[in-house]
Amino acid sequence: MRPGDSSSIENLFNEVAPRYDLINDVLSFGLHRLWKRQLLFLLRPSSGERWVDLCCGTGDMSLALARIVSPGGQVLGVDYASNPLTLANEKAAKEPLLSISWLKADVLKTGLPSAQFDGAVMAYGLRNLVDPGAGLEEIRRLIKPGSRAGVLDFNPLIEGSFAARFQKFYLRKLVVPLAKQLGLRDHYAYLEESLRLFPGGAEQERLALEVGFIKAVHRPIFAGQMGILLLQN
Ligand SMILES: C[S@@+](CC[C@H](N)C(=O)[O-])C[C@H]1O[C@@H](n2cnc3c(N)ncnc32)[C@H](O)[C@@H]1O
């Protein structure tokens, strides 16, 4: 399976969905919540704003955003896999005061009108797209001029560095064996492949400027294992 192989990736996330949150917590030692909070801290959404969470999965970012932008704000979570969206919807139902809606769509073909959001996030989504540049272009199209967006993902590392060796060790010796125990070996083996093809931080910045963002800064976090791309429209 390769990034952009839409129907296989959609199936993969549909199959993983019931255990996705648990696996994320176990494999990141709960740290993914911290990295997501860090992204929101850097973007500073505020109450009353309208945000979009692209590749929203089971809705963690959408819910966190909705808590920040309420009262008066709104969040739209977009994902093409229906099982994660069902779980996201169930979580949102427990917080009825939040204003969140969900859209089942390919983030590269949402059909949403341009320039309607005050900000956008994409967590662990860009790596899966057939064309990360097109993903960045769509993010820019959806947000208003002068607004901001952020992308959180693994940070692809230069082969041979200590950080890269650690990343490989983490994926091969921890992630894949654990996933195997849960009957999801192939699903998580895909992670390393998607990372191998994912552009590095400098290339992500270049792609973002190429599609028209006025500023793009990639920040490695967690000893360089993860990266946050901050975008200004
Ligand atoms: C690794 S999960 C991340 C979910 C969530 N953002 C998080 O951080 O927990 C990636 C999600 O992206 C979705 N996805 C991948 N490619 C997509 C596309 N082209 N359009 C819409 N959703 C996509 C998958 O269905 C999956 O739910």
Residue 30 in any domain: the answer is yes
Helix (H) or strand (E) holding 118: strand 117-123
Mean pLDDT of the chain: 92
pLDDT at 4 over 70: no
Residue 98 in any domain: the answer is yes
Residue 68 in any domain: the answer is yes
Which amino acid is located at 80 in the chain?
Y
Least confident of 12-26, 56-70, 109-123, 199-213: 12-26
Q: Give the position, in ligand 1's atom list, of the atom nearest the Cα of 12.
A: 25
Least confident of 35-44, 180-189, 220-229: 180-189
* Alpha carbons 51 and 148: distance in angstroms, whole number: 10
pLDDT at 108 over 90: yes
Q: Give the angle subtended at the CA of 75 by the CAs of 72 and 79, to the nearest 5°.
A: 170
Residue 23 in any domain: the answer is yes
* Alpha carbons 43 and 213: distance in angstroms, whole number: 15
pLDDT at 2 over 70: no
What's the gap in Å between 49 CA and the centre of ligand 1?
23
Q: Is 23 in the pocket of ligand 1 (CB under 6 A)?
A: no
What's the gap in Å between 187 CA and the centre of ligand 1?
13
CATH code of the domain in which 58 resides: 3.40.50.150
Q: Is 123 in the pocket of ligand 1 (CB under 6 A)?
A: yes
Domain residues for the domain of 86 are: 6-232
Residue 173 in any domain: the answer is yes
If one residue of 55, 107, 129 were mutated to test the ligand 1 pocket, choosing by the most ligand atoms within 8 A of its CB, it would be 55
Q: Do the beta carbons of residue 6 and residue 79 sit within 8 Å?
A: no
Span 133-156, pLDDT tens digits = 999 999 999 999 999 999 999 998
More reliable by pLDDT, 26 or 63 = 63
Q: How many CA atoms lie within 13 A of 52 on its CB side?
A: 27
What's the gap in Å between 120 CA and the centre of ligand 1?
14
Q: Is 125 in the pocket of ligand 1 (CB under 6 A)?
A: yes
More reliable by pLDDT, 157 or 78 = 78
Residue 1 in any domain: the answer is no
* Alpha carbons 170 and 150: distance in angstroms, whole number: 25
209: which residues sit within 8 A by CB, 6+ positions away? 216
User: Percentage of the chain with pLDDT > 70?
Assistant: 98
Residue 70 in any domain: the answer is yes
Q: Is 153 in the pocket of ligand 1 (CB under 6 A)?
A: no
If one residue of 26, 79, 91 were mutated to test the ligand 1 pocket, choosing by the most ligand atoms within 8 A of its CB, it would be 79
Count how many domains the chain has: 1
Whole-model pTM?
Answer: 0.94
What's the gap in Å between 55 CA and the centre of ligand 1?
4
What's the gap in Å between 59 CA and the centre of ligand 1?
10
| Residue burial 205-220, b: 16+ Cβ < 10 Å; e: rest | bebbeebebeebebee
What's the gap in Å between 81 CA and the centre of ligand 1?
8
Residue 151 in any domain: the answer is yes
